[in-house]
Amino acid sequence: MYSQGLIGAKEDVVEDDAFLEAFQRRIDAEEKIEPNDPMPKAYRNTLIRMIGQHAHSEIVGMLPEGNWITRAPSLRRKVALLAKVQDEGGHGLYLYSAAETLGVSREQMTEELLDGTAKYSSIFNYPTPTWADIGTIGWLVDGAAIMNQVPLCRCSYGPYARAMIRVCKEESFHQRQGYELVQSLCTGTSEQKAMAQDSLNRWWWPSLMMFGPSDTESQHSDQSMKWKIKRFTNDELRQKFVDATVPQAEHLGLSIPDENLVWNSEKNNTQGGYDFGEINWKEFWQVVKGHGMMNRDRIAARKKAWDDGAWVREAAAAFADKQRKTADAA
């Protein structure tokens, strides 16, 4: 799937059984794999895919929220939203840098985003028609991101795990400011509370889809779990998210748009948990395959930004080249 012209990658190691068994022993011993360590090509490519798509998600994720920066209802809300959108851009940079340690270039990753080879999170293909969506995105989308990203702080690949530690600290602020925004709507006028409920109705199911297909459909999970890239399966993290979020909605006086949601005291080794309705997997795959409401707009925005920024990249490259020549001539 990825262009094989990996720059900076170690020459291919001989992936015989002895090498693969020794590598797995390192993983099982909870050792961190670092960029210069010999690693199976499939391990490298899995990480390039996951980290690259994670980085794309962060950058594309700036678009739905950026749409509200000029229309935030107060300076306080504008400052919080500005800070959050800037954070997401920073997360994208950390993650592109982590992916580059595996020998893939930012240009390659961007090409693969723009030509549709590489994915980004489905959640960012939904529109943000009301101000309540900015709160709901912080509360649910960043809440789901935290659920999915905290375990990645223990990912077997060192640069990814380390990038996640800083990202997760900032995601916690994102989630809190979102929840507080929704709370202010729920304690406001009846129109404001209705706007919050409408937003929850539109974002609840797409937030559950963020965790990926069900475990029976997930094609990468088993191997990613063996390599300790993933520490939990898609369904396990989805369940954790539902169990943590339903009480928050109840506290706000909002209702979850799922008539099959019910507490099951037998679930989770009798710790209890929520049973919930079937996800619309047809919608999920439609969006993943590029047919969501905003897919075309998001890619068009990313392409315009990439094209508009070409002169900056050329100028920086020319300057670096001049510096190199000056240093060589000295």
Alpha-carbon distance 249 to 59, whole Å? 28
Max distance between CA atoms of the chain, in angstroms, equals 74
Segment 18 to 37, residues that bind ligand 3HC, using CB under 6 A: none
Alpha-carbon distance 179 to 257, whole Å? 18
> Smallest distance from the beta carbon of 214 to ligand 3HC, in angstroms?
9
**Interaction between residue 245 and ligand 3HC (CB under 6 A):** no
Q: How far is CA 37 from the centre of its chain?
A: 26
> Smallest distance from the beta carbon of 299 to ligand 3HC, in angstroms?
13
Contact string 95-134 vs ligand 3HC (x = CB under 6 A): ------------------------x-xx------------
DSSP 3-state of 72: coil
Task: Find out whether 152 and 160 touch, Cβ atoms under 8 Å.
Answer: yes
> Smallest distance from the beta carbon of 204 to ligand 3HC, in angstroms?
15
State which residue, 88 or 258, has the beta carbon closest to ligand 3HC. 88
Q: Which of 6, 23, 60, 61 binds ligand 3HC (CB under 6 A)?
A: 61
DSSP 3-state of 211: coil
- At 177, list the tokens: 């400011």
Q: Which of 65, 88, 112, 258 binds ligand 3HC (CB under 6 A)?
A: 88
The angle formed by the CA atoms of residues 29, 91 and 306, to the nearest 5 degrees, is 125
DSSP assignment letter at 138: I
Q: Applying CB under 6 A, which part among 54-62, 69-77, 239-247, 300-308 lies near ligand 3HC?
A: 54-62
Q: Applying CB under 6 A, which part among 63-71, 128-136, 210-218, 319-327 lies near ligand 3HC?
A: 210-218
| Class of residue 316 by CB neighbours under 10 A (exposed 0-12, middle 13-18, buried 19+) | exposed
How many CA atoms are closer than 13 Å to the CA of 318, on its beta-carbon side?
A: 6
How many residues can be counted in the chain? 330
Q: Applying CB under 6 A, which part among 75-83, 191-199, 204-212, 262-270 lies near ligand 3HC?
A: 204-212
> Smallest distance from the beta carbon of 291 to ligand 3HC, in angstroms?
12
> Smallest distance from the beta carbon of 187 to ligand 3HC, in angstroms?
25
Residue with tokens 């980085």: 55
Q: Which of 39, 44, 48, 57 binds ligand 3HC (CB under 6 A)?
A: 57
Helix axes 41-60, 295-308, angle to 10 degrees: 90
**Interaction between residue 226 and ligand 3HC (CB under 6 A):** no
Contact string 149-188 vs ligand 3HC (x = CB under 6 A): ----------------------x-----------------
10 Å Cβ neighbour count for 189?
9
Pairing status of strand 262-264 against strand 273-275: antiparallel
Q: Applying CB under 6 A, which part among 13-21, 53-61, 181-189, 264-272 lies near ligand 3HC?
A: 53-61
Q: Which of 195, 210, 242, 254 binds ligand 3HC (CB under 6 A)?
A: 210
Alpha-carbon distance 141 to 71, whole Å? 21
Which parts of this chain interact with ligand 3HC (CB under 6 A)? 49-50, 53-54, 57-58, 61, 88, 91, 119, 121-122, 141-142, 145, 148, 171, 209-213, 218-221, 224, 234, 288
